[in-house]
Every structure is written in structure tokens, then in C-alpha cells.
Amino acid sequence: MAEHHSSYVPKTGFERWLDARLPIVRLMHDSAVSYPVPRNLNYFWTFGGILMFMLVSQIVTGIVLVMHYTPHVDHAFQSVEHIMRDVNYGWLMRYMHANGASMFFIAVYIHIFRGMYYGSYKAPREVLWILGVVIFLLMMATAFLGYVLPWGQMSFWGATVITNLFSAIPVVGETIVVWLWGGYSVDNPTLNRFFSLHYLLPFMIFGVVILHVWALHHVGQNNPSGVEVKNYKKDTVPFTPYATVKDLFAMVCFMIFFAWFVFYHPNFLGHADNYIPADPLKTPAHIVPEWYFLPFYGILRAIPDKLGGVVAMFASIAILAFLPWLDTSKVRSGKYRPWFKFAFWTFVVVSVLLGYTGSQPTDKVVLAIGGRTVMDMVGFAQILTAIYFAYFLVALPLLGLIEKPKALPASIADSVLGPAGSGHIAGAHAAPPKH
């Protein structure tokens, strides 16, 4: 499929003049109006647009917050309260930004799991997928840095725990940690550099998002059947108005969900401890990261060895980038793979349970028989970690070889209309293919 004809026709003299010099209107037209979209996409395909909205929302609210925030250990906490109390709609900006981070992750996890279920990472979408993993990593870094800025107890101690992970690196670990801190503990220099990087990274995310969308528009969208577009007229609809209106509807539904937290439950997703100003001399009873990091935190703590834990945690994210080559199945969509479905849902449940282990004290008893502890939280997390990695390293490579997939529809149109009804689509003409 790939390249398709541009159907843009400049209407005015100015448009013709501009088109010959900088075809930007043509680019917009081709990627947001005439771009052919598989007609069988379900609502899970709206999360890309929702994520774009979240990114813009975070950047806009963030820029306003920076106008009133002071990155200094003596003033950061106070300046956040100043925003909440004295800045017009400051409470709205801050609650949108803080809850927006969680919404961003809810949307991105749905987006990632959708890609995994429908095999969106498979050829020819490997680079598209890897760019997505890069965005995910940048998001995690940005969220972590941002959580430090209010300089509450959880900010300070979260920063201490996470930066200390780098001390596990042999030989140079300690040096690296001192370099990250800009001193011998988490202090004002740390807060300042975290603030600087927290402002920088979203724009890097924006850059990679552009590459991500470019790659997407080059190879075309995957779809629930996993079958590639064969006939543009029958299998696709033009992005505008079909996808535009559907994406908008989904986006507004997501905003309702978002608004529920911002206006009615703004502190639900945060930690009460972060309303206590940072105190380097007082460690909170439980240092718990934000919910979106919990599965990875669970993996980190599952490995008794510090370096091993850090390696496992980073590996659990990095392994996503190798998905296109770990999955050996020729069938793209999980819809037609009965055994894969089982493995996938096991993986989802295991990821959630890993998050649960990450939120609990390590010595909490999970299973006791006759008063004797058989398994504590660490033991439980170890089993889950093993299953997590087995999904990538055992299930995906093997299933492709031994599984017998169900029959695929002949085309996208067939999957919607049935083999008999795949006639013409009245009034809908996506750009025809070049070849």
C-alpha cells in the first residue's frame, strides 16, 4: 500500500502559488483529509488522537504553570500552593496537569495493549512500533521528573529511590548518581535540573510523535482483521469526515472521564504524602511510585539483587522494542489466534498483578499455610515477573510455530460486510493507490 496519490487540488491563486513553493496545505490535506483509513477500525483506534490531545493539554497547562512556579527547594511547595490559591484558575491548571499525567498513561496503556492484541507491531510497522516505545520511555522520564517538582515528601523520596538505582551500575554507579544529583544528595541542584529536563522532554516527545505519525501514514493503519488494504475503494474511507468525527466523539468521551477526576476527585490519583513538604530527615512509611510505574516497580523489587532488579526493570520495557521479531506468527490480528488470545490476556492480568505487588510492602504475606508463610509479596512478584518475560521469550516465539489460526477474511470489506456484500461504498472515496 504505502504511498498514495495526492488528491489535493489548489483552489485559489494563492494556494497554487504556495503549493509550488511550500506544499504545506497539500501535506495537511493528504494526511488529515484524504488519508485512507481502514473502514473496520473500532474505538481502540481512537486513542492515538486522544494521546495527541493529552500531549497538547499537558504542554499548554504546563507552560502556564511554569509562569507561576518556582524551582527552588525553599519555594517550590509554596509556589504550588500559590498556584492553587492565588492564581486565577490556577487550581484548574494544576489539577489538569497532575491528573493529565495519569490520563496520558491510561490512554497510552490502552494504545499499547491494542497494538499488542492486533499485532500492530508486525511488518511493515516495526519502526512505527519502536518509535512508540521511545515515546513511552520519554513519557515515563517526563512523568517521573514532573512528580518531583512540587517538592512534597513523595517527590523527594521518590527522586531519592529512583536516582539511587543508578548506583547499582558497577564501578561508575556512585559517580553517576552524584552527577545526576549535582551534589551528594537530592537537593536544590537536583530540583533545578529536573525542572529544566521536565520542560525539555515534552518537546522531544512531540518530535518523536511527528516521526510516529509520519511512519503511520507511510505504512497505513493496521485494523482489527489484521488484513492489509487491498482495494482502496472497498476497504477504506477518507480520514475526513469518517475518522475525524469518530475521533472527536471518542476524544470528548475521554474528556468527560478526565473532567470527572479534575473537578470532582482531583487528588484520587495522587499521594496524600505529597501534601507534606519534603523533609530529608523524615522517610515516609511507604515510598510508592505513581500508579503507572507500579508494574515496573514490582519487577524491580522482585529481584533480590539490586543490579539484577534494575536490569530486569529496564529489560521489561526494552523488550517491547523487540516484539516485531519475537512474535513468529504470520497472522497479525489476535482475533484469529485462539492460543495467542489466552497468552495475551494472561499477560494483561499478570501486568496488573505486578502493579499490585509494586504497591504493597515487600514483606506482606500473600499465602500462608498453617501459620507458616509460603509466599510473600516478593515471591509473588517473582512468579509474575517470570510469566511477564515468558510471554515475550517463550509464548510469542513458540505460538507462531505451533498454533493453528482461524480462517482470515479475504479483505477488510469482507470482514465488515461478509464475502457477498463487499460492493461499492456510496459517497466515500479515499485516495486511490498509485500502482
Partner 1 sequence: MTTSSRFLLAAFALTGFAALAQPALAAGGAEQPPRQKWTFSGPFGTFDRAQLQRGFKVYREVCASCHGLEKLSFRNLSQPGGPGFTDGQVRTLATEYKVMDGPNEAGEMFERPARPSDRFPKPFPNPEAAKAANNGAVPPDFSVIAKARTYERGFPFYLFDIVTQYQEQGVDYITALLLGYEEPPKGVTVEAGLHWNRYFPGNKIAMGNPLVAVFDDAGKPHDAGFYTDGTPVTREQVARDVTAFLMWAAEPKMEERKQTGTKVMLWLILLAGLLYLTKKRIWSRLEGAH
Task: Report yes or no: 331 and 226 within 8 Å, Cβ to Cβ.
Answer: yes
100, 355, 400, 409: which one binds partner 1 (CB under 8 A)? 355
Task: Report yes or no: 355 and 403 within 8 Å, Cβ to Cβ.
Answer: no
Binding mask 254-283 for partner 1 (x = CB under 8 A): -xx--xx-xxxxxxxx-xxx-xx-------
Q: Considering beta carbons, is residue 177 or 223 the nearer one to partner 1?
A: 223
| Region from 155-163, 178-186, 312-320, 346-354 binding partner 1, contact rule CB under 8 A | 346-354
Q: What whole-number distance in Å separates Cα of residue 74 and Cα of residue 192? A: 12
139, 148, 288, 303: which one binds partner 1 (CB under 8 A)? 288
Select from 404, 408, 392, 402 the least CA-distant residue to 325. Answer: 392
Told to check if 337 binds partner 1 by CB under 8 A, we report no
Told to check if 339 binds partner 1 by CB under 8 A, we report no
Told to check if 32 binds partner 1 by CB under 8 A, we report no
Told to check if 358 binds partner 1 by CB under 8 A, we report yes
Pairing verdict, β 236-238 and 365-369: unpaired
| Region from 141-149, 187-195, 356-364, 382-390 binding partner 1, contact rule CB under 8 A | 356-364
| Region from 38-46, 127-135, 209-217, 375-383 binding partner 1, contact rule CB under 8 A | 38-46
Told to check if 253 binds partner 1 by CB under 8 A, we report yes
Largest CA distance in the chain: 86
161, 176, 378, 428: which one binds partner 1 (CB under 8 A)? 428
Residue pointed to by grid coordinates 481502514: 38
**At closest approach, how far in Å is the CB of 216 from partner 1?**
21
Q: Considering beta carbons, is residue 214 or 260 the nearer one to partner 1?
A: 260
Identity of the residue numbered 265: H
Residues 392-411 that bind partner 1 (CB under 8 A): none
28, 185, 345, 374: which one binds partner 1 (CB under 8 A)? 345
Q: At residue 154, what are phi and psi to the nearest 5 degrees? A: -70, -30
**At closest approach, how far in Å is the CB of 413 from partner 1?**
8
Q: Considering beta carbons, is residue 96 or 177 the nearer one to partner 1?
A: 96
Q: Which three cell numbers stand for residue 388?
A: 511477564
End-to-end CA distance of the chain: 9
Instruction: Give CA 298 to chain center in angstroms.
Output: 18
Total interface residues for partner 1 by CB under 8 A: 72
Q: What whole-number distance in Å separates Cα of residue 14 and Cα of residue 23? A: 12
Report the length, in residues, of the chain.
Answer: 435
Select from 331, 297, 394, 347 the least CA-distant residue to 113. Answer: 347
Contacts of residue 259, Cβ cutoff 8 Å, sequence gap at least 6 = none
Task: Report yes or no: 220 and 212 within 8 Å, Cβ to Cβ.
Answer: no
Residues 167-226 that bind partner 1 (CB under 8 A): 224
**At closest approach, how far in Å is the CB of 284 from partner 1?**
8
Identity of the residue numbered 273: D
**At closest approach, how far in Å is the CB of 263 from partner 1?**
3
Told to check if 348 binds partner 1 by CB under 8 A, we report yes
The verdict on whether omega for the bond into residue 433 sits within 30 degrees of 0, i.e. cis, is no
**At closest approach, how far in Å is the CB of 266 from partner 1?**
7
Residues 131-170 that bind partner 1 (CB under 8 A): 154
Q: Considering beta carbons, is residue 33 or 110 the nearer one to partner 1?
A: 110
Q: Considering beta carbons, is residue 263 or 325 the nearer one to partner 1?
A: 263
Residue pointed to by grid coordinates 513511552: 136
Residue pointed to by grid coordinates 469482507: 414
13, 170, 304, 421: which one binds partner 1 (CB under 8 A)? 421
Residues 359-388 that bind partner 1 (CB under 8 A): 359-361
Told to check if 60 binds partner 1 by CB under 8 A, we report no
Instruction: Give CA 114 to chain center in angstroms.
Output: 11
Q: Considering beta carbons, is residue 325 or 345 the nearer one to partner 1?
A: 345
Mapped onto helix, strand or coil, the DSSP state of residue 38 is strand
The four Cα atoms 369, 375, 377, 383 give a dihedral, to 10 degrees, of: -140
**At closest approach, how far in Å is the CB of 428 from partner 1?**
6
Task: Report yes or no: 193 and 182 within 8 Å, Cβ to Cβ.
Answer: yes
Cα torsion 299, 305, 306, 311: sign: negative
Q: Considering beta carbons, is residue 38 or 166 the nearer one to partner 1?
A: 38
Q: Considering beta carbons, is residue 55 or 262 the nearer one to partner 1?
A: 262
**At closest approach, how far in Å is the CB of 373 from partner 1?**
19
